[in-house]
Amino acid sequence: MRLIDRYLLRQLVGPVVLATLALTAVALLSQSLAGLDLIVNQRQSALVFLKITLLYMPQLINLILPIAVFVAALVALNRLHTEQEIVVCFAGGMSRWRVISPAMRLACTVAFLALVMNLFVQPACFRLLRQELFEVRTDLAATLVREGEFATPTPGLTVYAQSVDGAGNLVNLFIHQTKADGSDSTYSAEKGRIARAQGRPVLILQNGSNQELSSRGVLNYLTFRSYTFDLTSLSSSDELIHYKPSDRWIHELFFPDLQQDWERRNRLDLLAQGHARIATPLYNIAFMALALSAILGGGFSRLGYGRRIASMAAVAAMVRLVGFLALSASEDSAWLNILQYAVPMGATAYAMATIFRQKVSRHIDITAPRAAPPLLGAGA
């Protein structure tokens, strides 16, 4: 790679990296605000919240990469062209392809990295994410108690705890249970803690009492220093982790197990998601080409390229919108998956045609002031 190629590439890499980091930070902020439910309602730790937020990153990065490439390329190319550095390249004999090749190579590199994330990183992260969300949803402590509220985790069982201290103890605990035979039991305790005994989940109550009213109307009253309340009925569940299309490996999308009822009914959805995994990285190349077209698709202008940039930004937004529509349509008809490739490739072809349609100007605009003509009679 020649010196001028490396220079042009350096001018593009920096803005692309900065734009990607900035947009990722904004996306993570919005995602973290949406995930505050884990801390507020599910009473999960900040570590769990951070882990779930970070596991969303591969998908977020893949969504914002084309936008970051487009914005960063516009900023860098507009500066290079306004300061006549690209004009100097043309004046030095460089072809139009030589000038745009560093940008296109960068776009192809970004597209390859996005493809790797789509095929390998995202499924791995989303599987871990689904397992983490499953554990949060089936967290017995979070399901059983709402601090300061009466909770009904299962029919016939009402639980109240005034607070939960830093050690995980339930303070001033109240439990009311209605059994299948019609009897009622009420437990109150100063403290309680969820633990496991002989492999079963239990709630250990301390310093409390039990009042039980049998179906015959007999009242039994008992005080205790420690009592073990069985929670097996709350934890026994045959629920399994269900992996969504975004969590599946690429071979599971293209070759689903048709013996499974869900996969047979959603075969077209899985196929569309599989093609989307491969086609989405092409938008990085398309958006880079559109950015090049916005700057190099017309003549040089000292006043900037605001109108051309605005036009190409609208085209880029329309292209991405049509891509989402193509994905939605592909979920109903398998042959429409070709549109997922045609949209970004068509945008790239359009941008390239616009770039190479413009003639190369090898004239450098030099605006140095001319010397004033000598005055008549000077030196006479």
Q: For the residues 96-114, what does the mean pLDDT come to? A: 95
Measured CA to CA, the distance from residue 105 to residue 259 in angstroms comes to 44
DSSP string covering 257-298 = -TTSHHHHHTHHHHHHHHHHHHHTTHHHHHHHHHHHHHHHSS
The pTM assigned to this predicted structure is: 0.76
**Residue 372, Cβ density class (10 Å: 0-12 exposed, 13-18 middle, ≥19 buried):** exposed
pLDDT in tens, 45-60: 678 778 888 888 999 9
pLDDT digits (tens, 9 = 90+) for 311-325: 999 999 999 999 999
CB 5 within 8 A of CB 99: no
Which whole-number Å values give the CA distances from 147 to 28, 40, 41, in the listed order?
A: 29, 10, 9
Q: What are all long-range contacts of 162-166, with beta carbons under 8 Å and residues at least 24 apart?
A: 164/43
DSSP three-state, residue 204: strand
Are 235 and 140 in contact by the 8 Å Cβ rule? The answer is yes
| Pair of tokens at residue 231 | 């929670």
Q: Could you state, in order of their start, the residue ranges of all structural domains in the chain?
A: 3-137+244-357, 145-232
Tell me the longest C-alpha to C-alpha distance in the chain: 137
Angle between helix 306-330 and helix 282-296 axes, rounded to 10 deg: 160
Residue with tokens 């700057």: 295
Percentage of residues in the chain having pLDDT higher than 70: 83
Task: Write out pLDDT tens, residues 233-268.
Answer: 665 554 567 788 999 999 999 999 988 898 999 999
